[in-house]
Amino acid sequence: MPARFVYWMNVSLDLFIEHAHDEQGGGDWMSIDDELHAVFNARAEALTMMVQGRRVFETMETFWPAARDNVEFPQVYRDYGRIWTDKPKILVSRARIEAPHNTTVFGGDDAIARLGEVRASESGDIGVGGAGIATQLLAAGLLDEVLLFTHPVILGSGRPLFDGLTSPVRLELLEQATYSGGVTMHRYAVGDA
């Protein structure tokens, strides 16, 4: 059975992933406490690997490797730092030719086709980070799931969950949960993936 690409994002109620330009996943509109972070850790630990666009990767790269050993951070942060640093990753980027922390770089016009080959040859869930990569995987029929952690806020504008979709995409609800702070999780299968 081939691997599955799972696009995993924190979103506002109106499906924005950033409010301010270049917010880099750290907007004060999010309600992430230690309980929710432990959920993130468990899901990330279970991934076979991660695929990230350059912006997401560079955001993660600047924080999580140092966080893994910083005793001033809560244990859930240190744990995620270890998970992110050690987990095999694919960085999709035209600008970078190498990257640290167990990362392979896919660049050029064939990056999505190469990701399709990875999906066919691996097993388990492959986490996808970044709207650009997720949109391209969806357009290529390679995106299998969407995992949303929805925060109880309406942003009104910002970076959308997907870039420029031109037709509806049917989803099937697979799982849902509610966490402290009013955050909800919805996991969907993508139709015709």
What is the token pair recorded at 154?
């309406």
Would the CA dihedral through 152, 158, 161, 167 be positive or negative?
positive
Ranges of the chain with pLDDT below 70: 22-26, 193
* CATH dotted code for 4-164+171-190: 3.40.430.10
Containing 17, the helix (H) or strand (E) segment is strand 16-18
Check if the beta carbon of residue 139 is closer than 8 Å to that of residue 148.
no
Residue 153 Cα distances to 51, 85, 182, angstroms:
27, 31, 10
Q: How far apart are CA 107 and CA 128, in angstroms?
A: 16
**Which residues partner with 176 through β-bridges?**
186
Task: Please tell me the predicted confidence (pLDDT) of residue 20.
Answer: 78
What pLDDT does residue 167 have? 87
Beta strand 171-178 with 184-190 is antiparallel
Instruction: Spell out a b/e string for 55-92, using b for 16 or more CB atoms within 10 Å of the CB, else e.
Output: bbbbbbbebbeebbeeeeeeebbbbbbbbbbebebbbb
Q: Which tokens sit at 69? A: 């050993």
Summarised one tens digit per residue, pLDDT across range 26-78 is 678 999 999 999 999 999 999 999 999 998 999 899 999 999 999 999 999 99
Question: What does the pLDDT read at residue 165?
Answer: 83
Query: What integer pLDDT is reported at residue 108 of this predicted model?
Result: 87
pLDDT at 28: 85
In this prediction the pTM is 0.94
